[in-house]
């Protein structure tokens, strides 16, 4: 899935990136790679450090330690020259209240140097944005559209989008998806931070899940699915306690069924072969297995550790998450 040629410089590469605000560790050793031409999803709940990472990449914040490279340059010291080749859409767009949307788009395009009038009007039409209104009268969605039009109108090799569709209606989300595809068709790399999982599932090649300032999962969606669990529902004749005792089977529940016993459970994908063998010995009447949705992946990293999730334990939780990741990788390799 990853399209990087060996040895090519990634569009974005951070290694052990730290950013501390006083005693708060907003980034705590983040590793993130976006290969050239790839759409990388950047997932995490509010406060996980997504926006901080993006602001470090844009040279708005200075990293405390660790390395970050953007299109082969240093995000802090080469900010100006890098920004000729980067377009950015923040999650919460504020504009100059006395400028119209059209004026703001033109101003931003001219800062980058090569405004494309035709592309601007195409995009205005696609996003159904009225450029003659003062920014102070725009709704959140319309402000977002201004930033999106300005970003997509730029012909740049890297797009950094920080929750870009917040405030957009589903029709506009579809327009957004189409524009991202169009950009990637031209070879543009994209970093898309989001917590709309269906959006990420639809357009991203790879996903990095971040928690408490560090990456807890990363890889292609298929890889991530492989490392996790599937949900199984089956109706069997025999007594399922043997299955329940297997390593890698979780949350098994049984319900009486006219045809036998209905069992539902989650299973680690790494051990699914052994589970099938055990199941088939029970006499299977019906069987369905669903791959985990991204949402389930996501919830697995966050949902189970929510109780007691204050600042001190979330650090430990992050470490535990990484540990489990390592264990799962091992299992996957076997």
At a CB cut-off of 8 Å and minimum separation 6, what does 60 contact?
Answer: none
Residue with tokens 């402000």: 143
90 lines the binding site for another protein (CB under 8 A): yes
The answer to whether the CB of 209 falls within 8 A of the CB of 215 is yes
Write the DSSP symbol of residue 7. T
243 lines the binding site for another protein (CB under 8 A): no
Quote the least distance from Cβ 196 to another protein, whole Å.
21
What six digits make up the tokens of 223? Answer: 């890889």
Residue with tokens 């991204």: 294
Q: Which one of the spans 1-9, 56-64, 164-172, 277-285 is the region binding another protein (CB under 8 A)?
A: 56-64
Q: How many residues bind another protein (CB under 8 A)?
A: 46
Q: Which one of the spans 41-49, 134-142, 245-253, 268-276 is the region binding another protein (CB under 8 A)?
A: 134-142
- Euclidean distance between CA atoms 62 and 213, whole angstroms: 15
| Shorter beta-carbon distance to another protein: residue 117 or 250 | 117
Q: Which one of the spans 29-37, 106-114, 214-222, 247-255 is the region binding another protein (CB under 8 A)?
A: 106-114
Q: Which one of the spans 67-75, 90-98, 213-221, 261-269 is the region binding another protein (CB under 8 A)?
A: 90-98
At a CB cut-off of 8 Å and minimum separation 6, what does 220 contact?
Answer: 1, 2, 205, 206, 207
111 lines the binding site for another protein (CB under 8 A): yes
| Shorter beta-carbon distance to another protein: residue 95 or 270 | 95
Is the Cα torsion angle 53, 54, 57, 63 positive or negative in sign? negative
Cα angle 204, 314, 217 (rounded to 5 degrees) comes to 25
**Of the candidates 14, 53, 69, 100, which one interacts with another protein according to CB under 8 A?**
100
Give the pairing of strands 158-162 and 86-89. parallel
45 lines the binding site for another protein (CB under 8 A): no
193 lines the binding site for another protein (CB under 8 A): no
113 lines the binding site for another protein (CB under 8 A): yes
60 lines the binding site for another protein (CB under 8 A): yes
- Euclidean distance between CA atoms 52 and 41, whole angstroms: 16
What six digits make up the tokens of 224? Answer: 């991530």
Q: Which residues pair with 88 in a beta bridge?
A: 160
Q: Applying CB under 8 A, which residues contact another protein? A: 51, 55, 58-62, 79-84, 86-88, 90, 92-100, 102-108, 110-113, 117, 131-134, 136-137, 147, 160
């Amino acid at each position: 899935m990853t399209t990087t040629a060996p040895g090519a410089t990634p569009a974005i590469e951070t290694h052990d990136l730290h950013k501390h605000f006083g005693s708060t560790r907003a980034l705590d050793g983040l590793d993130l790679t976006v290969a050239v031409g790839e759409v990388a999803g950047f997932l995490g709940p509010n406060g996980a450090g997504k926006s901080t990472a993006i602001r470090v990449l844009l040279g708005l914040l200075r990293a405390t330690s660790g390395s970050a490279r953007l299109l082969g340059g240093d995000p802090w010291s080469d900010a100006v020259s890098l920004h000729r080749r980067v377009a950015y859409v923040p999650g919460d767009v504020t504009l100059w209240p006395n400028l119209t949307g059209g004026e703001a788009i033109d101003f931003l395009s001219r800062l980058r140097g090569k405004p494309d009038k035709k592309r601007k009007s195409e995009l205005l039409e696609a996003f159904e944005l009225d450029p003659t209104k003062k920014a102070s009268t725009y709704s959140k969605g319309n402000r977002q559209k201004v930033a999106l039009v300005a970003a997509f109108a730029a012909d740049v090799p890297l797009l950094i989008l920080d929750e870009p569709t917040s405030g957009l209606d589903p029709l506009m989300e579809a327009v957004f998806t189409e524009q991202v595809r169009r950009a990637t068709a031209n070879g543009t790399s994209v970093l898309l931070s989001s917590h709309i999982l269906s959006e990420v599932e639809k357009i991203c090649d790879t996903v990095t899940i971040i928690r408490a300032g560090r990456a807890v999962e990363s890889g292609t969606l298929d890889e991530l699915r492989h490392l996790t669990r599937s949900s199984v529902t089956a109706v069997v004749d025999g007594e399922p306690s043997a299955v329940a005792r297997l390593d890698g089977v979780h949350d098994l529940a049984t319900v009486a069924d006219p045809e036998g016993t209905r069992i539902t459970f989650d299973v680690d994908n790494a051990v699914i072969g052994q589970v099938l063998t055990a199941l088939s010995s029970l006499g299977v009447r019906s069987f369905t297995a669903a791959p985990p949705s991204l949402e389930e992946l996501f919830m697995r990293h966050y949902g189970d550790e929510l109780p007691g999730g204050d600042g001190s334990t979330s650090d430990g939780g992050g470490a535990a998450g990484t540990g489990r990741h390592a264990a799962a990788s091992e299992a996957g390799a076997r």
